[in-house]
């Protein structure tokens, strides 16, 4: 590694420490010796941003024969590869193992001697796996797909032209896929503290003995549980009641109980939060349930707040409207300039990798082939990867009520599913909401070990227009946790046995005797 390469990489927090794994990652997603190509006339698409939305748009368009330019200023792969799904799930897997060893006695397995988490080894494993995955998002791969890959700052110079350094990229259509970044809320004292975000927490090499986390949404809960299982004393602060305030209350309550079992100190309904850096550490001062707390932590993670990456793009020059929530788009993902589209976290309320992927496919259809695909027609599930996992698709009960949709809810507890009992994971449940008087599914929540996998069957049924009656007829292998879905279908089928139908059955069976 040359000194120049060291200097170029040192400023990228996501790539610390500069070990072999991160250097291998950098060689794929931030190659310091990359030479931008010579622009090839007018492009069908210029894609700004090489996160999930940008990569899927570029690859899909090029695969269909379009001339495509892709621009990235920092790391190809975006949040998902570098500071999101990939590193966080690697850590969560290690945390699950730590918990399984801790609880091994419940399964008749005796672990003799002390068991400790080697946190530097956990983080090195994460960095290795992230680097192993990175060739899929590499600059070289996309170049080999026939895409002109430009590393540098992109800026709209005028309508029809994007500038990257000395290069002018002329386009027929352009796509803004620059994503979003962590943004800290206005907390008194925060500006005087070196705090972590989801973009920097994966650069840690030593386990914080005491960790404070602000925000009990998905990121906050996932990392609070993981670090507690690694051995940190974790304080989780949330302004609203409980944890996962946007989720089904019953699901959130189960996650809260497990977090507390794992040793997380949850300070919810937090008021008057203040921070102060003192000699003994960072003081986290907050009122929770009418009690005042002054907890001292060694590191602080801020897990609330996102800001769209729109600075420096010169969107005003091409008539693209945006605000603090992001770039404004219509249902076809067109911006206020009909030649420019947007996809992913920079414009979407659904800040998930799979949502960005789905939106990118809409952009390809609408930008290149005069399509009329609508983002509002997408059925987007999501999952929080705590233990237990929480997954959801469609409407919550309160959303159905606010929209005037009458529903029936079928709940099946995992405590009645044999595989969940055998696995020792029987504290969850499935709730399915159907339109009253039918089996049409309008929403569902799953709480289980693999809820993120289980919800896909329900999502498929919703997309295909199939209801609970179809799920009831679907044969599931026994024993699996997915049997909970069939049981929900069976619960619906039993409602069809009305008193009138029952009397008819009684007469028919009596006649047959």
pLDDT value of position 10:
66
Say if 512 falls within a structural domain.
Answer: no
Instruction: Please tell me the predicted confidence (pLDDT) of residue 6.
Output: 60
**The tokens 């026939």 sit on which residue?**
146
Residues 290 and 208 in one domain: yes
Domain holding 207, by residue range, is 190-304
In a domain, 309, yes or no: yes
The answer to whether residue 18 is domain-embedded is: no
Rounded mean pLDDT of 55-84?
97
Confidence band, pLDDT 50/70/90 cuts, at residue 1: very low
Residues forming beta bridges with residue 445, ordered by sequence position: 392, 431
Same domain, 400 and 339: no
In this structure, the answer to whether residues 163 and 213 fall within a common structural domain is: no
Mean per-residue pLDDT of the chain: 95
DSSP label at residue 113: S
Q: Which of 260, 279, 304 is the last residue of a domain?
A: 304
- Taking a C-beta distance cutoff of 8 angstroms, is the pair 34, 72 a contact? no
What local confidence, expressed as pLDDT, does residue 504 receive? 79
Q: Is 321 found in the same domain as 194?
A: no
Q: What is the pLDDT of residues 88-122, one digit of tens each?
A: 999 999 999 999 999 999 999 999 888 899 999 99
User: Among 61, 137, 91, which Cα is nearest to 353's?
Assistant: 137
Residue 151 has pLDDT above 50, yes or no: yes
Say whether both 47 and 178 belong to one domain.
yes
Q: Identify whether residues 334 and 363 lie together within a single domain.
A: yes
Q: Which of 328, 350, 377 is the last residue of a domain?
A: 377
* Residue 383 resides in a domain: no
Percent of the chain whose pLDDT exceeds 70: 98
The secondary structure element, H or E, covering residue 447 is: strand 441-448
Looking at residue 7, what is its pLDDT? 52
Torsion angle of C-alpha atoms 336, 340, 341, 346, degrees rounded to 10:
-80
pLDDT in tens, 164-184: 999 999 999 999 999 999 998
Residue 417's pLDDT band, with cuts at 50, 70 and 90, is very high
How many domains does one find in the chain?
A: 3
Do 225 and 288 belong together in one domain? Answer: yes
Cis peptide, bond prior to residue 388, ω within 30 of zero: yes
Q: What is the DSSP letter of 435?
A: E
User: What residues have CB less than 8 Å from 421, skipping those under 6 apart?
Assistant: 415
Rounded to whole angstroms, how far apart are CA atoms 479 and 75?
43
pLDDT at site 4 = 53
5: pLDDT strictly greater than 70: no
pLDDT in tens, 254-298: 999 999 999 999 999 999 999 999 999 999 999 999 999 999 999
Distance from C-alpha of 468 to C-alpha of 444, rounded to nearest angstrom: 11
Pairing of strands 389-394, 441-448: antiparallel
Higher-confidence position of 330 and 507: 330
For residue 447, is pLDDT > 70? Answer: yes
Residue 309 has pLDDT above 90, yes or no: yes
**CATH number assigned to the domain comprising residue 349:** 3.50.50.60
Q: Is residue 486 part of a domain?
A: yes
The structure tokens listed for 399 are 């959303």
pTM of the model: 0.95
Give the pLDDT of residue 174.
Answer: 98
> Which residues contact residue 380 at a Cβ distance below 8 angstroms, ignoring those fewer than 6 apart?
350, 352, 354, 355, 358, 393
For range 68-87, the mean pLDDT: 97
Q: Are residues 468 and 392 in the same domain?
A: yes
Boundary residue ending a domain (261, 277, 304): 304
User: 350 is written with which tokens?
Assistant: 């659904």
Question: What are the pLDDT digits (tens) for 17-65?
Answer: 999 999 999 999 999 999 999 998 999 999 999 999 999 999 999 999 9
Helix (H) or strand (E) holding 413: strand 407-413
338 token code pair = 């009909």
Checking if the pLDDT of 346 tops 90, the result is: yes
| CATH number, residue 446 | 3.30.390.30
> Do 470 and 367 fall within a single domain?
no
Across 380-403, average pLDDT: 98
**For residues 377-384, average pLDDT:** 98
Q: Which of 444, 430, 379, 432 is nearest to 408 (CA)?
A: 432
Q: List Cβ neighbours of 404 (8 Å cut-off, separation of 6 or more).
A: none
Residue 487 lies in a domain: yes
State residue 45 phi and psi, 5-degree precision: -140, 135
Claim to verify: residue 153 and residue 49 sit in the same structural domain: yes
- 47 and 71 in contact (C-beta within 8 Å)? yes
Please tell me whether residues 61 and 168 are part of one structural domain: yes
- Taking each helix axis as running N to C, give the angle between helix 20-29 and helix 3-10, from 0 to 180 degrees, rounded to the nearest 10: 80
The pLDDT of residue 142 is above 80:
yes
Q: How far apart are CA 417 and CA 66, in angstroms?
A: 50
């Amino acid at each position: 590694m040359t000194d120049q390469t060291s200097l170029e990489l040192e400023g990228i927090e996501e790539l610390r420490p500069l070990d072999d794994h991160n250097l291998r990652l950098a060689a794929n997603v931030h190659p310091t010796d990359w030479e931008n190509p010579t622009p090839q006339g007018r492009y069908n698409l210029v894609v700004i941003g090489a996160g999930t939305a940008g990569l899927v748009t570029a690859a899909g368009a090029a695969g269909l024969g379009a001339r495509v330019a892709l621009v990235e200023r920092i790391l190809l792969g975006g949040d998902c590869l570098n500071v999101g799904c990939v590193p966080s799930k690697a850590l969560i897997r290690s945390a699950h193992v730590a918990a399984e060893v801790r609880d091994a006695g419940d399964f008749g397995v005796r672990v003799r001697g002390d068991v400790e988490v080697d946190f530097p080894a956990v983080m090195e494993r994460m960095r290795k796996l992230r680097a192993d995955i990175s060739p899929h998002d590499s600059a070289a791969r996309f170049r080999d797909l026939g895409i002109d890959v430009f590393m540098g700052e992109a800026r709209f110079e005028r309508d029809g032209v994007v500038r990257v350094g000395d290069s002018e990229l002329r386009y027929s259509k352009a796509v803004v896929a620059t994503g979003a970044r962590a943004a800290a809320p206005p907390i008194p004292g925060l500006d005087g503290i070196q705090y972590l975000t989801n973009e920097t927490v994966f650069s840690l090499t030593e386990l914080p003995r005491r960790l404070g986390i602000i925000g009990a949404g998905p990121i906050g809960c996932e990392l609070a549980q993981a670090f507690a299982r690694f051995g940190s004393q974790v304080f989780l602060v949330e302004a609203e009641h409980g944890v996962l305030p946007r989720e089904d209350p019953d699901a959130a309550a189960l996650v809260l109980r497990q977090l507390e079992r794992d040793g997380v100190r949850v300070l919810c309904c937090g008021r008057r939060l203040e921070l102060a850096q003192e000699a003994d550490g960072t003081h986290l001062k907050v009122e929770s349930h009418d009690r005042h707390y002054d907890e001292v932590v060694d590191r602080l993670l801020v897990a609330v707040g996102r800001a769209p990456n729109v600075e420096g793009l010169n969107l005003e020059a091409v008539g693209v409207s945006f605000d603090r929530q992001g770039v404004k788009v219509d249902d076809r993902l067109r911006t206020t300039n009909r030649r420019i589209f947007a996809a992913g976290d920079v414009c979407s309320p659904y800040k998930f990798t799979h949502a960005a992927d789905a939106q990118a496919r809409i952009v390809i259809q609408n930008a290149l082939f005069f399509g009329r695909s609508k983002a509002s027609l997408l059925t987007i599930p999501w999952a929080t990867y705590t233990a237990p996992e929480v997954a959801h698709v469609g409407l919550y009960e309160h959303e159905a009520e606010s929209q005037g949709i009458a529903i029936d809810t079928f709940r099946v507890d995992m405590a009645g599913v044999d595989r969940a009992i055998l696995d020792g994971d029987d504290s969850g449940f499935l709730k399915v909401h159907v339109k009253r008087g039918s089996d049409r599914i309008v929403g569902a929540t799953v709480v289980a070990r693999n809820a993120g996998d289980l919800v896909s069957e329900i999502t498929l049924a919703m997309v295909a227009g199939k209801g609970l009656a179809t799920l009831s007829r679907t044969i599931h292998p026994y024993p699996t946790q997915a049997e909970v879905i069939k049981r929900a279908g069976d619960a619906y089928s039993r409602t069809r046995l009305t008193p009138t139908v029952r009397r008819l059955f009684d007469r028919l069976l009596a006649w047959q005797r």
